């Protein structure tokens, strides 16, 4: 059994904690949180120990893995400490919001030969994965265009927005930038981005972009479109469309039930699932399973620090493009 | 050009008149209706002559085809007169509601060698036809079960209902009984039927069945279900499902537009087309085209008096079964 | 924590064992199986004890619930022993295949005041439940027709078939008969059934019916159709359609992914889920959760022995009808 | 009856000819084509006269409308001659490929007060129109993003391509640029475009762009994406998606039949309609009907020369952007 110390008990932490606890090869050993009460509450649910001191967990020889679920600005320091303690790392995305710090992390991870995984969970969604597999199997031949819609039903709370300007690129589309690279097996070389503030001043008091459209060009020539909004009132909208010489693949949205209601007003189906944790429940399970099995088997996890860096560089370029109104080249 | 005398200018008459008028091989020559004004109104739209006297049309040597669109009880006499006048006949279904009169018609048609077509138009619907073709091509292997839903958005006016008791079998399901025979290429040997009056006394004052469910068995062993209602508030519901050893085929409903509306309340599409004339517009065109080309080429039309008889016999058996509560055998 | 003794470690047993083990209010305490090795294997996965002697489990005061997952012919005796030992019972359907034995069980359960639940899990499927809720909320007004398709991708092994003749009614459609009663809140009063052997002698050597179509009439007048087959090559086909005065509700099938593949050959989606354990995974979880919470709260479970009896009586009537070719009345 | 002289009997000409001939208020009077034989062949089908001399038709007082279906480079001169002859004009898009010539046409049309319609037929497609109506009715509130996919199953023949470089903008997306303006009721102010040659040298010997992606910004702030390809092997792909503060509208593709085929390999539906003349058959009928009724009623047609100009200006900007790699401003 692989002992896991989970750092950061809020937000996505409980989800990962439950998945580790349910995994046949893993065991949640510690929950680390500055808020000791929160740590205890989560730990007790899974028979783990709680602490507000990371060292307590790092010094436990039963701990082989550190799972980082804290806010992004804390990631780099935690990565360094965990790596120096000889623990494998599962880090929620992004690695960091500063490329230089990501590079520093990469250097430490390399020198300590630390197994490292960054949580681009969407790669593990069964339908997205089936789309990936179909591309790789040559079903649509060479991919020529890729379209991604990535829309949230609501904007994050003002506090959260204030801490991460241009979160639409750094927090949301960073997933899509990763998906583009992964699906096409190619690097992004050009970014053109436009943003808008469509929400009102009540929901979006900081006037940070809540709507964005991005056009990318790949090294191999494929053209890519990504759009995002923070008010898809009909639910969490997550679609991917890959167009190629032999056809098209679409990863469609998913609904809570498959009920169809026919009336004089039309035919009605459920709205989309609203919460990313519901929509991507299976992908969270699968990414963790893959990570645990990689650690267990002594293999490198499939998504590394270089992937985290590449998506961040595109997000930086998107900000620059949105500000300048010019297409920005990226060293793909 | 094949000259056509259309008898019966009401209801479905204008539709057939327009289709004949637009056909490259046919010409609408006469419109015959007891109501001369109605005949004139329709005739003038297509450059035809109008009369209230059938003989005027029958004695016109330019007339090669008589199209019968009058109420069912008049069909047998019209068939006899047209046949004796040497005209080919396109008769709206049913041939007649009395099997003995159908048999008499059949005898006259045989002795006069009259080309005769009964208008089971649904066989010509592109989607139903594609389903037929797929069965014939062996896509589902041997068909084992067939399900038909055949529902109208509303009941006919009381006058119409009064003239044809058990119209749910004689007017509506008679189409389905024909479709079953055609799709399976097999004969119905057993009928079990149940009916109900679900509508209120305002819409259905004669308490004639407005809802029916029928289970059939085919000579070859396949099992069949048919259901019908006269208040499908969501539109004209026309579905066929064929299940067999290698798969399933479904002829789905059709909608006026392909618009999809996403809101917090769900995903909404258009209701179904409401009117049979819209839903089956293409099948009316295609049955007439096939008929005209058969006449033009000297070939027998594809649906004959024996088909009209077979469907009627099943409707009779359905009435008997609904009344007795027992399964009724049919000489398939 | 509610201690559970699971009797019968094969087939569906491991699924229920895992669901009990994961439930926050329950604990799998014993696994009982004549095959001690099988019991041990399953028990060890969940930290439970294993035995081949039911009394060992029944005499454990920590056991509050007995879960019966053994073959049907053993249910009645197990129910009696568990009831006499004062345990609440979760019994896989059917209660028994002999109505008299079901009645005897009912008497014992009543006299011992034993909480009893029969596992008609489909009632807990989220989409079927949403359909139920929509009917109850009056969305389609009075239900007039109900159609159920209930098809398996393959027939059970010959041994299994040999033990339960007419399994298509007793094992498969018994679920549908229960669903009909539950969805309509009404009793079945008439059954007309036809069966066929469509499979070959290799797959179906005992020539037990592998295909069936049933037409039911409800006390309140609604008409019902149910069909079943043991070779739906395209997957486990589970659809329900409720038609009423104000509209129609359809519980559609479900697919493993929502990928859509467009090529010159057409638009292709995944086949249906093939295994009932996948298709109804959520309903198994939910029925067990409801049961555990009922026991925990001292409330009666929602599906009792009378429900098990009612569905069985309809299955008996279906066999009688299929054999006689006549509609059979049921005391609704 | 409004007499129509149709100029240009090839390609789209016969379609418009048939639609005029079938219209209750119009009559095809002349077919004009340099190839007299082609003119005669088409004219004879509709009882019209044929000529290779435009003046013959223009001097006929029965002619009230000139329908221009010739290649784009001839449009300006024909418009001038028809306008000077006092005829109303229905001109296939584009008005011309040179903005200065469009301006000259506009001046002549204004000074002669000629009723003029440019054939952006897609505005009349029932589903696109329903989407437009829903936006106007406020169903999605303020539109924030618009996505259009506009893909042909194959590239035009090399000769045709050679005559119109960047046809992907001038011939194909010009429709989309018009749709964007119409649907949003707003003007395009910025264009960023990227193109690619994805087809092989056999199909695309002139290496004119066969794939394009464009990002637009509207005066009112909405963001727009358009993509196009000349090898959608799965059919003529025509989708529009409008996203706004209250929801999303999608104009989905259409298929020849609604047949669904279930097998072990999946669920298969028809490919899309392949030909724009089939896909937009109804929109061609409706635009012509609207035009004829406008002329008949003495009203201005709904799509004028200013609309033709505006779409052309965006196409010019798209070419400039694709060449320079920079976003290009348009005077909206």
Q: Report strand pairing: D143-151 vs D237-244.
A: antiparallel
* Strand (E) or helix (H) holding D90: strand D88-91
pLDDT at B332 (0 to 100) = 61
Contact of B263 with chain A, judged by CB distance below 8 Å, is answered with yes
Place B22 in a pLDDT band, splitting at 50, 70 and 90. confident
User: CB–CB of D267 and C265 under 8 A?
Assistant: no
Share of chain C above pLDDT 70, in %: 100
Task: Please provide the DSSP assignment of A220-233 as one string.
Answer: TS-EEEEEEES--T
Q: How many residues does chain B have?
A: 332
pLDDT at C58 (0 to 100) = 98
Residue B295: burial class (beta carbons within 10 Å; 0-12, 13-18, 19+): buried
pLDDT tens track, chain A, 332 positions: 899 999 999 889 999 999 998 898 999 999 999 999 999 999 998 999 999 999 999 999 999 999 999 999 999 999 999 999 999 999 999 999 999 999 999 999 999 999 999 999 999 999 999 999 999 999 999 999 999 999 999 999 999 999 999 999 999 999 999 999 999 999 999 999 999 999 999 999 999 999 999 999 999 999 999 999 999 999 999 999 999 999 999 999 999 999 999 999 999 999 999 889 899 999 999 999 999 999 999 999 999 999 999 999 999 999 999 999 999 999 86
Q: Which of A217, A229, A246 sits opposite D144 (nearest CB)?
A: A229
Q: How many CB atoms lie within 10 A of CB D130?
A: 18
Q: How far apart are CA C5 and CA C7, in angstroms?
A: 6
**D43 upstream amide cis, omega within 30 of 0:** no
Determine the distance in angstroms separating the CA of B107 from the nearest CA of chain D, rounded to an integer.
Answer: 39
Q: Which of D127, D256, D270 sits opposite B257 (nearest CB)?
A: D127
**B94 upstream amide cis, omega within 30 of 0:** yes
Q: How many CB atoms lie within 10 A of CB C100?
A: 9
Query: What sections of C85-207 are H helices per DSSP?
Result: 99-112, 126-136, 158-163, 167, 174-184
pLDDT at C22 (0 to 100) = 86
Chain D residues touching residue C154 (CB < 8 angstroms):
none
Contacts of C330 (CB under 8 A, 6+ apart): C187, C188, C189, C190, C191, C313, C314, C317
User: CB–CB of A213 and D145 under 8 A?
Assistant: yes
Closest residue by Cα to residue D118 from D79, D157, D63 = D79
Chain B residues touching residue A270 (CB < 8 angstroms):
266-267
pLDDT at B55 (0 to 100) = 96
The 10s digit of each residue's pLDDT in B150-169 is 999 999 999 999 999 999 99
Contact of A206 with chain D, judged by CB distance below 8 Å, is answered with no
A157: helix, strand or coil: coil
| Predicted model pTM | 0.96
Contact of B264 with chain A, judged by CB distance below 8 Å, is answered with yes
pLDDT tens track, chain D, 332 positions: 899 999 999 889 999 999 998 898 999 999 999 999 999 999 998 999 999 999 999 999 999 999 999 999 999 999 999 999 999 999 999 999 999 999 999 999 999 999 999 999 999 999 999 999 999 999 999 999 999 999 999 999 999 999 999 999 999 999 999 999 999 999 999 999 999 999 999 999 999 999 999 999 999 999 999 999 999 999 999 999 999 999 999 999 999 999 999 999 999 999 999 889 899 999 999 999 999 999 999 999 999 999 999 999 999 999 999 999 999 999 86
Closest residue by Cα to residue C169 from C216, C105, C218 = C216
Contacts of D41 (CB under 8 A, 6+ apart): D9
* Strand (E) or helix (H) holding C22: helix C13-22
* Strand (E) or helix (H) holding B251: strand B247-251
The 10s digit of each residue's pLDDT in C99-109 is 999 999 999 99
What torsion do the CA atoms of A21, A23, A29, A33 make, to the nearest 10 degrees?
A: -60
pLDDT at D332 (0 to 100) = 61
Chain A residues touching residue C259 (CB < 8 angstroms):
127, 130-131, 134, 249-252
| Contact in structure between D282 and D126 (CB atoms under 8 Å) | yes
| Contact in structure between A132 and A179 (CB atoms under 8 Å) | no
Contacts of B103 (CB under 8 A, 6+ apart): B309
Chain B residues touching residue A269 (CB < 8 angstroms):
266-268
Determine the distance in angstroms separating the CA of C247 from the nearest CA of chain B, rounded to an integer.
Answer: 6
Q: How far apart are CA D227 and CA B36, in angstroms?
A: 58
User: CB–CB of A194 and D215 under 8 A?
Assistant: yes
Q: Where on the phi/psi map is residue C235: left (φ > 0), alpha (ψ -120 to 50), or beta?
A: left
C240: helix, strand or coil: strand
Contact of C130 with chain A, judged by CB distance below 8 Å, is answered with yes
Q: Which of B126, B139, B260 sits opposite D252 (nearest CB)?
A: B260
The DSSP bridge partners found for residue A211 are A196, A229
pLDDT at B213 (0 to 100) = 98
Q: How far apart are CA D127 and CA B260, in angstroms?
A: 9
Query: What sections of A23-117 are H helices per DSSP?
Result: 36-45, 54-58, 75-84, 99-111
CA geometry: angle at A277 spanning A276 and A282, to 5°?
Answer: 110
* Residue D146 DSSP symbol: E
The 10s digit of each residue's pLDDT in C266-290 is 999 999 998 898 999 999 999 999 9
In chain B, how long is the greatest CA-to-CA distance? 67
Backbone angles phi, psi at B273, to 5 degrees: -55, 140
pLDDT at C146 (0 to 100) = 98
pLDDT at B275 (0 to 100) = 87
Chain C residues touching residue A251 (CB < 8 angstroms):
257-259
Chain B residues touching residue C227 (CB < 8 angstroms):
145, 147, 223, 225, 243
Q: How far apart are CA B52 and CA B33, in angstroms?
A: 5
Q: How far apart are CA C257 and CA C269, in angstroms?
A: 8
Cα D132 to chain centroid distance, Å, stands at 17
pLDDT at D123 (0 to 100) = 98
Rg, C-alpha atoms of chain D: 20
Place C10 in a pLDDT band, splitting at 50, 70 and 90. confident
Three-state secondary structure along C252-304? CCCCCCCEEEEECCEEEECCCCCCHHHHCHHHHHHHHHHHHHHHHHCCCCCCC
Q: How far apart are CA C322 and CA C209, in angstroms?
A: 10
Q: How far apart are CA D126 and CA D287, in angstroms?
A: 11
């Amino acid at each position: 059994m692989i002992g896991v110390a989970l750092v950061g008990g809020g937000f996505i932490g409980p989800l990962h904690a439950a998945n580790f606890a349910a995994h046949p090869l893993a065991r949640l050993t510690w929950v680390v949180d500055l808020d000791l009460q929160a740590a205890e509450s989560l730990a007790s649910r899974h028979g783990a120990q709680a602490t507000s001191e990371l060292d307590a967990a790092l010094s436990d020889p039963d701990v082989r893995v550190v799972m980082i679920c804290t806010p992004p600005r804390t990631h780099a320091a935690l990565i360094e400490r965990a790596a120096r303690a000889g623990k494998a790392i599962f880090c929620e995305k992004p690695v960091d919001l500063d490329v230089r710090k990501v590079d520093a992390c990469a250097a430490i991870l390399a020198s300590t030969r630390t197994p490292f995984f960054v949580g681009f969970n969407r790669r593990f969604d069964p339908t997205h994965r089936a789309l990936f597999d179909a591309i790789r199997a040559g079903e649509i031949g060479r991919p020529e265009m890729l379209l991604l819609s990535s829309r949230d039903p609501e904007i994050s709370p003002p506090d959260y927005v204030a801490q991460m300007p241009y979160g639409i690129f750094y927090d949301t589309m960073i997933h899509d930038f990763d998906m583009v690279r992964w699906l096409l097996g190619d690097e992004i070389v050009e970014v053109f981005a436009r943003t808008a503030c469509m929400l009102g001043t009540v929901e979006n008091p900081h006037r940070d972009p809540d709507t964005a459209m991005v056009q990318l060009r790949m090294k191999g020539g494929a053209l890519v479109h990504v759009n995002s909004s923070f008010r898809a009132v009909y639910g969490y909208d997550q679609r991917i469309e890959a167009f190629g010489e032999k056809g098209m693949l679409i990863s469609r949205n998913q609904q809570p039930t498959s009920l169809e209601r026919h009336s004089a007003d039309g035919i009605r189906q459920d709205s989309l699932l609203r919460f990313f944790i519901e929509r991507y429940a299976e992908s969270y399970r699968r990414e963790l399973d893959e990570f645990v099995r990689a650690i267990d088997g002594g293999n490198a996890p499939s998504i590394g620090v270089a992937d985290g860096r590449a998506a961040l560089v595109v997000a930086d370029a998107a900000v620059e493009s949105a500000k300048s109104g010019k297409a920005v080249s990226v060293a793909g």
